Amino acid sequence: MKKYFMRLKHTWPIPPLLSIQLDSYNSFLQIDYPPEKRKNEGLEALFREVFPIEDPHRHFILEYLSYEFSQPVYTIEEAIEKGLNYSIPLYANFRLIRKVPTKEEYRIKSAVEQKIFIMDLPLMTEQGTFIINGIERVVVSQLHRAPGIYLQREEGEDSILLVPLRGAWFEMRIDANDQMVVLLDRRRRIPIFTFFRALGYSLSEIFENLFPIEEKEIEVGDVIAERITGEEGRVYSDVGDEVTPGIYDFLISRNVKRAKCVRANSPGLSVILQSLKQDSTTSKEEALKKIFHRIRGIAAHSVEVAENVITGMLFDKRRFELGRCGRYRLNRIFNENVPLTETGLTREDIIKMTKRALMFHLRQLPPDDVDHLMARRVRAVGELLANHFRVALQQLTQNIRERAALLEDAQLTPQELINTRVVSSTVMKFFTQNPLSQFMEQTNPLASLIHKRRVSALGPGGLTKETAGFEIRDVHYSHYGRICPIETPEGPNIGLINTIATYAKIDEHGFITTPYWKVKDGIVTKEVEYVNPDEEENLTIAAVDTPIDEHRRIIAKEVIARRRGDVITVSPEEVTHMDISPKQLFSPSTILIPFLEHDDADRALMGANMQRQAVPLLMPERPLVATGVEKKWAEESGCLVLAPEDGEVIKIDSSRILLRTASGLREIRLQKFFKSNQYTSHNQKPVVKEGSKVKKGDLLADGASTDQGELALGRNVFVAFLPWRGYNYEDAIVISENLLREDAFTSIQILEFEIQARMTKLGPEEITRDIPGTREEDLANLDAFGIIRIGAEVIPGDILVGRITPRGETEFTPEERLLRAIFGEKAENYRDTSLRVEPGVYGTVIDVKVITRRDGTPLANDVFKKREAQILKRHEEKKLFIQNQRDERLRSILLGEKAATNVRDNKDRILLREGERFTEDFFASGKISKVKNFEKIVDSEKKLKEIEEILKDYETKRRLCEEELEREKEKLSRGDELPHGVLKWIRVFIAQKRRLSVGDKLANRHGGKGVVAKILPVEDMPFLPDGTPVDMVLNPLGVPSRMNIGQILETVLGWAAKKLGYQAISPPFEGPSVEEVKEELKKAGLPPDGKVTLYDGRTGLPFKEKVVVGYMYMMKLNHMVDDKIHARAVGRYSLITQQPLGGKAQFGGQRFGEMEVWALEAYGAAHALQEMLTIKSDDVEGRSELFESLFKGKLPPEPKIPASFSVLTKELRGLCLDLIPEKTKEKEKEKT
């Protein structure tokens, strides 16, 4: 039973959480659309952008027609098992048109159309992930600077910056001297008038575009906007001349009283006049040459070359593109309606930018807030991949032109011209090497879900954590409902890696939008509007808890609302929108924290992050105090098995569920002990019983970290906040043995060990049981081929896979050769390189995967024989399944009907006589599957048609099943794909049952974390007056300074919920008040303050003060002591310094560092210090001599010179400094 404490009734459903990934990739591929119906976006847009390609001599044109896909080569399971990519073959159709020059124009000689294989393109799974080399990866979305214009003020200069989607930045600056310049690609400064002249504007056109021109009587101070000439063509005044008293008198004397002028007080005129003085050019040609020289540093060959370079930098869409997003932003800024398809820069845009720069310089406009979310947009997986695809296609066009120049005309075909290797290598480089393509977090379902909703400001074209300042990392008011203000990493990436808020969506331009209820005349309508950060600037948004009546009218006379980040009080009529839910601020992880409103933000951040590190437990338990979204999150994460349609469960075992549905029988396979990327175990368990009726969407099986279809990351534990004999000092935790007895925090880790047999220079490595120098008992668990059997329990040093590697041939005497020939001793030619269990690893072998070529070896033959048997068995099951489906559907039609003719089998035997009815016995005995004459089996024409349809459908399915079998057999005949030089690849999976032990890290949802310090017998634990012992003792000092009071409220409400037998639903910012919690405690017959007198389990005496007791939800984190505990005896040494390595992975030791040396120096322990710095470190000779002396019982030797000292002397000699030891000097003196 659930008890809801939420107060708000008007809710809006949470949108699908994986849509950010799935929608982006689907719009890139458009896989579900036929070629003729595809929109001009994603892959289609890229092909159209790059093609057609024409050679310089115009002899041929290569045109793109369409692209298409075939079926994926491997299933997801096969790709993971064999270390391959889950991908789909991409083909493109091209037409090559050959042309012949005629007198007037080119005539088409021939046209060739071909379908060309481009690449195996990685395909996104339904869960928004990619399988690359057998590993599940996620492409994280990138948050980068949005294209558009930005007003900035820095170091006394005002600038307007144009950031394109693709291309070099373009900037205009006005300095303190009122001089305006243009910067192309943030390089050399170009005077604004020189730039305008290069664009083809005359002086008068520049003035006309920038200022209002009037035909008026000339006044002193005006600026002339046209050339004034006399009768003989003499120029009296030119454009840009300021009318001084002298010029005024001169023009009046020449009878020039009226002219086109700019008024003296026109805003920005002084800047333009000052800039005009900087311009030394007089014509377009001169301006072009000057700019070209500034950019390239050399003189232009011709004006045309200069013009092509300069206009290409700004107006060629392939080199400078604003994109739809940039055009949208310019439209908003300039208040225009230019079509969004106009993605290039225009000359009008530059004029408007100049006007805006002048307004900004005159303080008529404020600087732009670069941290506002309107200045940042999201590049999701589809766009990131498209950018790499574009680079690949551009390289391909270059290759095509080069190949065309080399090939004869007769050889020209699309297949000959197009070498697609460059495309596949560039795209695969993105998936394997790009920092945004990440190894997926799979610790638990929540971690996977959050990873797919992450946005990063890092990565190519983004920021770096070293240079990013505080402002860009900080929470901004525009993040409201778009980016979670809580969930972000704690380290150097804080604020640079964020999580998209739960209700937020990404719009077509890449801006993050959030939903609001529309409010009209004080009434909250049922219409929801998704708003981007720019549109929100002009809205007045009421809080979600604003009281409304049953007609959705706002009750209060004054409403607290938000406008541009300020909290204001307004009348209901002024409100334009209203928040949709208190959850809309936060990420899915943060929403899982009950009583979030009572926690400090820093601790809430830790709580949100630590939930992602919770290990899936063997017996998880849903929280007693939940937030109500646990079911939704579990469904969204894809770890549950839900009924695909209405039906009845007819059979269940541990690995599959069989459903009888309206469309026939359906088999649902379950995931069993699947190893995640973080070595946690993901296992699905059926929760329905045979005979259960299920509806579509009902729960069939629980997955990892779920209980009854709800996310269950931990366990409800009976805790007390009490110091216990110093064992819970510094956040340590004391637990009861009872938790171990119940397997409360037991988890399963699955470790993977792998080995490859390679072809070496001396011959092939062999996987064998015949290992030189090995005792028979060490081989007890190996099979005939030297591979460990499934189910074997292993300890460190056990052989998992026997492998021998050939060593170099040694010369033998004739006698030795004879003996070796007689006794067949090949052992001396091979060395043992078997795969053994690593130190500290204990467990059970649960699976072995052998990936091998079809090389005729006994192991390969055995593997493929077993696989073939499995395929045939699966095929037979599937055929039987299809037949059962058919029989089930026939039963629903024929049951109770009379036979219209004798029903016969294949041998013409009568199964049912004419006139007899089809009974349950007829179907139960399986006779229906033997019937051959269905033609006129019943009288009803309608039923006969239905039967015909069923039989037709059965035949189709059976045929497809046979085709699939043939494909499987053909795939099997090819063997497995392995890298060059690898003969066999064997992977062994070992499961470890990890019980809670001292050193394991536990945490709650409120940022409280600690390490288990002591496991007490149940009788030693503090107990209640009724004798109930607590399960865990936490330090009360972990609460006040951390300011996460939510954990106390959760604990006492959890106690009440346990007593009253319900699950409390307390969403963030909607949870019960302290008074309501007290009421629940009273109902449960518990003290209203949640405090009781506890008794010491050791003495039986009561503790002096009352103690807070209750049920808290605790999680075991993926920081287990078994992974961290480590000891070194003799291990590997560094090659250069000959010192032991560091770290567990290198089997290294603890470094006796500088400060430790000081400690021994302080004690004067000279001999201990010498030992530490020599034989225990890098004195190679001393090491071996010490071993020898210990072995023979002699006194230890004198230490020698350490290897690191030798390295130092050699480095100094490299600097031409000869170091001579003192003893050597003395010896030389004695000699002389």
The span from the CA of 984 to the CA of 981, in Å, is 9
* Dmax (CA) of the chain: 131
CATH at 548:
2.30.150.10
The pLDDT assigned to 810 comes to 64
Nearest to 272 by CA among 207, 347, 228, 209: 207
Lowest mean pLDDT across 36-50, 257-271, 467-481: 257-271
- 152 and 291 inside one domain: yes
Question: What's the angle, vertex CA 96, arms to CA 95 and CA 98, rounded to 5?
Answer: 145
- Within-domain flag for 12: no
- 311 and 277 inside one domain: yes
**pLDDT tens for each residue of 128-145:** 999 999 999 999 999 999
- 901 and 929 inside one domain: yes
- 762 and 742 inside one domain: no
DSSP 676: P
Confidence band for 202, pLDDT divided at 50, 70 and 90: confident
CATH at 787:
2.40.50.150
| Phi and psi based region of residue 183 (left: phi greater than 0; alpha: psi -120 to 50; beta: remaining) | beta
Confidence band for 852, pLDDT divided at 50, 70 and 90: very high
Find the Cα–Cα–Cα–Cα dihedral 1096, 1102, 1103, 1104, rounded to 10°: -160
Confidence band for 1013, pLDDT divided at 50, 70 and 90: very high
CATH at 56:
3.90.1100.10
Enclosing H/E stretch for 113? strand 106-122
Would you say residue 997 has pLDDT above 80?
yes
CATH at 181:
3.90.1110.10
User: How are beta strands 681-682 and 566-570 bridged, if at all?
Assistant: unpaired
The pLDDT assigned to 903 comes to 80
- 1101 and 1004 inside one domain: yes
* In 741-884, beta strands by DSSP E: 747-760, 763-764, 766-767, 793-794, 799-801, 803-806, 830-832, 835-836, 843-852
3-state SS, residue 648:
strand
**pLDDT tens for each residue of 520-567:** 999 999 999 999 999 999 999 999 989 998 889 999 899 999 999 899
**pLDDT tens for each residue of 911-930:** 888 888 888 888 788 777 77
The pLDDT assigned to 827 comes to 53
- Within-domain flag for 206: no
Enclosing H/E stretch for 1190? helix 1180-1192
The span from the CA of 1158 to the CA of 1164, in Å, is 10
Confidence band for 1022, pLDDT divided at 50, 70 and 90: very high
**pLDDT tens for each residue of 1100-1116:** 999 999 999 999 999 99
Q: Of 450, 468, 483, at which residue does a domain stop?
A: 450
- Within-domain flag for 390: yes
Residue 455, φ and ψ in degrees, nearest 5: -125, 135
DSSP letter string, 129-148 = -EEETTEEEEE-EEEEEPSE
Q: Of 265, 286, 310, at which residue does a domain stop?
A: 265
Residue 20 CB burial class (10 angstroms; 0-12, 13-18, ≥19): buried
How distant, in Å, are the alpha carbons of 181, 305, 861 from that of 298? 21, 12, 70
The pLDDT assigned to 392 comes to 94
What total of structural domains would you count in the chain?
9
The span from the CA of 878 to the CA of 883, in Å, is 9
Buried residues in 101-140 as b, exposed as e (16+ CB within 10 A):
eeeeeeeeeeeeebebebbbbbbbbebbbbbbebbbbbbb
Q: How many CB atoms lie within 10 A of CB 33?
A: 12
- 515 and 573 inside one domain: yes
Nearest to 422 by CA among 392, 465, 381, 466: 392
Average pLDDT, the chain: 90
The span from the CA of 253 to the CA of 237, in Å, is 13
Enclosing H/E stretch for 346? none
CATH at 220:
3.90.105
- Within-domain flag for 827: yes
3-state SS, residue 797:
coil
- Whether the CB-CB separation of 147 and 138 falls below 8 Å is answered with no
- 407 and 292 inside one domain: no
**pLDDT tens for each residue of 392-447:** 999 999 998 888 888 777 678 888 889 899 999 999 999 999 999 999 999 999 99
**pLDDT tens for each residue of 486-526:** 999 999 999 999 999 999 999 999 999 999 999 999 999 99
- 513 and 569 inside one domain: yes
- 319 and 174 inside one domain: yes
The span from the CA of 579 to the CA of 524, in Å, is 10
Residue 964, φ and ψ in degrees, nearest 5: -65, -40
Confidence band for 783, pLDDT divided at 50, 70 and 90: very high
Q: What's the whole-number mean pLDDT along residues 1123-1139?
A: 85
**pLDDT tens for each residue of 877-900:** 888 888 887 887 788 888 878 887
- 1188 and 1220 inside one domain: yes
The pLDDT assigned to 208 comes to 84
Would you say residue 325 has pLDDT above 80?
yes
Confidence band for 825, pLDDT divided at 50, 70 and 90: low
- Within-domain flag for 1000: yes
The whole domain housing 1142 covers 1128-1231
Give 3-state DSSP helix, strand, coil % of the chain, rounded to 5: 35, 25, 40
Q: What's the whole-number mean pLDDT along residues 818-829?
A: 66
- 175 and 100 inside one domain: no
**pLDDT tens for each residue of 648-702:** 998 899 899 988 887 777 889 999 999 999 999 999 999 999 989 999 999 999 9
The span from the CA of 716 to the CA of 1029, in Å, is 15
**pLDDT tens for each residue of 590-625:** 999 999 999 999 999 999 999 999 999 999 999 999
Residue 337 CB burial class (10 angstroms; 0-12, 13-18, ≥19): exposed
Q: Of 356, 378, 400, at which residue does a domain stop?
A: 378
Q: pTM for the whole thing?
A: 0.90
Residue 108, φ and ψ in degrees, nearest 5: -70, 125
- Whether the CB-CB separation of 772 and 804 falls below 8 Å is answered with yes
Confidence band for 811, pLDDT divided at 50, 70 and 90: low
The span from the CA of 1101 to the CA of 777, in Å, is 56
Q: What's the whole-number mean pLDDT along residues 350-370?
A: 92
Would you say residue 1043 has pLDDT above 60?
yes
**pLDDT tens for each residue of 97-132:** 887 766 666 667 778 899 999 999 999 999 999 999
- 371 and 430 inside one domain: no
- Whether the CB-CB separation of 1030 and 1021 falls below 8 Å is answered with yes
Nearest to 400 by CA among 600, 116, 767: 116
**pLDDT tens for each residue of 1171-1188:** 988 988 888 899 889 989
* In 205-355, beta strands by DSSP E: 214-217, 223-224, 228-229, 235-237, 258-262
- Within-domain flag for 605: yes
